[in-house]
Amino acid sequence: MKGSFLKKLCLILTVVVSTSNLIACAPKNFSTEKGTATTTTPTASSKPEKITGMFDTILKVEDGQAKVVEEFKKQTGIDLVITNPIHNQYYEKLNLAFASGDIPDVVEMGGTTYSAYANNGALYDMTSLVEKSATIQKLSTVTMDSEKIGGKLYGVPKASGNGTVTYLRKDWLDLNNLEVPKTYEEYINVLKVFADDPDKNGKKDTFGTSAAGLFSDDPTTTPDIYLREFYQDAYPDFKLVNNTWVDGITQPEMKPALERLRKAYSMGLFDKEIITNKTTNVRDKFYSGKVGAMSYWAGTWSTTLEDELKKAVPTASIVAIPAIKETNYTSRVPSVYAITSKAKNPEGIFKYLLEYMHDAGKGELLFSRGVENVHYKVTDGKATMLTVKSTYFFDPTLTISQFKDPAIIDPRISKSTKIFEADSQMAKLLPASAAYTKTGVDLIQSRKEIISKVVIGQMTVDEGLEKYKKDNQVIVDAILNEFNVAK
């Protein structure tokens, strides 16, 4: 959905779900006079009889969601009532729930949606509860700090944010006597080979690399996450420089980044459909054996990518590589579980749900691995999964507690996760901004269009950057003014 999104900003909750990004604003009637969420002083927590929640990335009904709910009731005595919309409709349904007044106690959210809802008072300020919680205080400090808005916390991260690593066809490296690239020059040389008959079948029917767009529009990620080797130190979004928010598109490092992308495209190293690809398209091309390099999620996806590829090419293998010298990988700010400001017993919900699912023990095992003898079985102290689903409410391999996962972990998962963690930096959560809420989607669309036109040769780099400034300077200045006040 493009164009005018909020006629009267924050007077009502407006659905803003688009192919270019997701930006939401919570209703004004949740906010105090200054637009900040209300805080309740922690008291002795009474156990709630029922907790209602709207969640996105959880175990689906067909995979035994009811069994987890049943076990939670058995362990805590609490009814957990779950609303789980279709993934690509999640934020639309979340916004509609707030607009209608049918507001759950706990919601899953992230990115600018989290900032906007918190800023407009729709979320409970749990800062005091977090500070007094021995359980939550043991969670990753870096991850917890990434969720602070104006120094306050309105949600507890589900798990670490994770991010993408670059996977290469190892069998192609070996067949062509290539080493894992350590620099940009070496990476480009590998892509040249991958785009020129790397499987020695006498045909030029492969791509060096592919991605879901030159500018990712996934609202849960950063826009450069699938092409870190090319963007390097450039960032095509707002970023902090010396504690001041700036527009990364207008920074000097963006010009050489666009030149790298443009040159690689002209050399035929990219899948020609890279501009219009979705993640499913890219995965399918990789699975078919036609793509040599692909940046995708570290961890459990490492096994899925290789196993699916082997169905088409039984001799194929892949390897996750460390970030090249010129750049790093990016860890996204994770989604949170937030308590809404309309919840009647926030202290009880915090204690019996949020603390429980991060207890590094029985509760976390339930929410990350499911139910024993339904989702996994234990033999000699080791858990073996009984279902292909590896993630339930959150991925245990991405825990931010001291949880000791009893499951047998595929070494490919551990290896890609370690590579990512060694070479990644945490992204920054954008502050809430009325100007960004109103104009952000159109700004992102402008960025996508200009970058695409530059890369495929319809504009020079200088022409593209000049057009971007001309078209967007007024709204960018308004957004940055609010960002830098909010910080």
Condensed to tens digits (0 to 9), the pLDDT of residues 131-163 reads 999 999 999 999 999 999 989 999 999 999 999
| Residues 302 and 176 reside in one and the same domain | yes
Only one residue has tokens 């339904």, namely: 374
User: Which among 100, 105, 86 is positioned nearest to 15, based on CA atoms?
Assistant: 100
Residue 22 lies inside a defined structural domain of this protein? no
- Cα–Cα distances in Å, from 316 out to 134, 292, 312, 339, 359? 47, 11, 9, 46, 40
Domain count, the chain: 2
**Helix orientation angle between 434-455 and 461-486, rounded to the nearest 10 degrees:** 160
- pLDDT over 70 percentage in the chain: 90
Q: Tens digits of per-residue pLDDT, 51-89?
A: 999 999 888 888 889 999 999 999 999 999 999 999 879
Separation of alpha carbons 8 and 465, rounded Å: 32
| Residues 317 and 175 reside in one and the same domain | yes
Domain of 481, CATH number, reads 3.40.190.10
Residue 37 pLDDT greater than 60, yes or no = no
| Residues 69 and 79 reside in one and the same domain | yes
The HSE-up count of residue 15 (CA atoms within 13 Å, CB side) is: 14
Type of residue numbered 230: F
Name the residue with higher pLDDT: 397 or 70: 70
Tell me the mean pLDDT in the region 434-438.
88
Name the residue with higher pLDDT: 218 or 477: 477
Residue 429 lies inside a defined structural domain of this protein? no
Confidence class for position 116, pLDDT limits 50, 70, 90: confident
Separation of alpha carbons 441 and 434, rounded Å: 12
Confidence class for position 390, pLDDT limits 50, 70, 90: low
**Residue 391, pLDDT score:** 59
Tell me the mean pLDDT in the region 161-178.
97
The lowest-confidence range among 19-23, 425-429, 478-482 is 19-23
Residue 41 pLDDT greater than 60, yes or no = no
| Residues 198 and 308 reside in one and the same domain | yes
| Residues 154 and 171 reside in one and the same domain | no
| Residues 312 and 381 reside in one and the same domain | no
**Residue 160, pLDDT score:** 93
Confidence class for position 432, pLDDT limits 50, 70, 90: confident
The HSE-up count of residue 357 (CA atoms within 13 Å, CB side) is: 25
3-state secondary structure of 436: helix
Confidence (pTM): 0.85
| Residues 255 and 278 reside in one and the same domain | yes
Alpha-helix runs per DSSP H in 361-433: 362-369, 411-422
Confidence class for position 6, pLDDT limits 50, 70, 90: very low
Angle formed at CA 41 by CA 37 and CA 44, multiple of 5 degrees: 135
Residue 445 pLDDT greater than 90, yes or no = yes
- pLDDT over 90 percentage in the chain: 77
**Residue 7, pLDDT score:** 33
User: Which among 91, 81, 82, 133 is positioned nearest to 114, based on CA atoms?
Assistant: 91
Of 407, 437, 461, which one is at a domain's C-terminal end?
407
**Residue 433, pLDDT score:** 86
Mean pLDDT for all residues in the chain: 89
Residue 326 pLDDT greater than 80, yes or no = yes
| Residues 271 and 325 reside in one and the same domain | yes
- Cα–Cα distances in Å, from 419 out to 123, 168, 194, 287? 35, 14, 23, 22
Instruction: Kindly state the tokens that stand for 292.
Output: 């040599």
Separation of alpha carbons 111 and 121, rounded Å: 16
Domain hosting 168: range is 164-331+446-486
Neighbours of 473 (CB within 10 A): 12
Which DSSP helix (H) or strand (E) runs through 294?
strand 291-297
Tell me the mean pLDDT in the region 438-454.
94
| Residues 79 and 118 reside in one and the same domain | yes
3-state secondary structure of 35: coil
**Residue 486, pLDDT score:** 72
Separation of alpha carbons 124 and 27, rounded Å: 14
Residue 277 pLDDT greater than 60, yes or no = yes
Separation of alpha carbons 137 and 404, rounded Å: 17
Q: Tens digits of per-residue pLDDT, 179-234?
A: 999 999 999 999 999 999 999 999 999 999 999 999 987 777 899 999 999 999 99
Separation of alpha carbons 321 and 252, rounded Å: 28
3-state helix, strand, coil in the chain (%, to 5): 40, 15, 45
| Residues 268 and 392 reside in one and the same domain | no
Highest mean pLDDT among 81-95, 254-268, 395-409: 254-268
Residue 28 pLDDT greater than 60, yes or no = no
3-state secondary structure of 372: strand
**Residue 487, pLDDT score:** 64
Residue 426 lies inside a defined structural domain of this protein? no
Residue 450 pLDDT greater than 80, yes or no = yes
| Residues 177 and 63 reside in one and the same domain | no
Of 407, 431, 461, which one is at a domain's C-terminal end?
407
Instruction: Kindly state the tokens that stand for 371.
Output: 């139910």
